[in-house]
Amino acid sequence: MKKILYINTCVRKESRTNRLARRLLGQLGGEVTEVRPDLKGMKPLCEISLERRNELLGAGNLSALELDAAREFAAADIIVIAAPYWDLTFPALLKIYLENVTVCGVTFYYTEEGIPNGLCSAGRLYYVTTAGGPIIHNFGFEYVDTLAREFYGINDTRFISAEGLDIIGADAEGILEDAMRKL
């Protein structure tokens, strides 16, 4: 059975992005593990956490608790990220999560030429988002797509969205249902 890692950075109870992502998860089948960075207490890396991570990596201790999220990410067969489109970008929770899983020796390594090479098992990554207006610049997906391809070794990345949900006169539920049908 496929191991699907669902990274849910939707903070609203009635999140439209979460609804769209859950529909996708239902169609993918497999064993889903949901990660909510806000509920896991993930924090941005700081001097202390970076020093600790460097100590662990220097000692070759890749099984340390602090690296659990990175190991979980590297072991997934499919990754689904749910990230609402906010002000031309994605929630800070996603950046914090990615900071914590982008670990040299776990999710990628550097070749002798200094080129990152992926260590992740996932064959595909889905980036799911919804937006009140049109997505003019897709900085969130572009960032995640670059990390996936250049660092993690995940070359099949897919963008799924429902846009224009808050435009005056828009049928938000209809737009969302249409996006779900297209999955």
What's the pLDDT tens digit per position in 127-168?
Answer: 999 999 999 889 999 999 999 999 999 999 999 999 999 999
**Residues facing residue 110 across a β-bridge:** 116
End-to-end CA distance of the chain, in Å?
21
What span, in angstroms and rounded, lies between the C-alpha atoms of 126 and 129? 10
Q: What is the pTM of this model?
A: 0.95
| 105 and 63 Cβ atoms separated by less than 8 Å | no
CB 154 within 8 A of CB 102: no
Domains contained in the chain, CATH given: 3-181 (3.40.50.360)
Q: What is the residue-level pLDDT of the chain in tens, covering all 183 positions? A: 899 999 999 999 999 999 999 999 999 999 999 999 999 889 999 999 999 999 999 999 999 999 999 999 999 999 999 999 988 889 999 999 999 999 999 999 999 999 999 999 999 999 999 999 999 889 999 999 999 999 999 999 999 999 999 999 999 999 999 999 999
- Whole-number Å distance between alpha carbons of 103 and 89: 23
Q: What is the pLDDT of residue 50?
A: 94
DSSP 8-class letter at 151: I
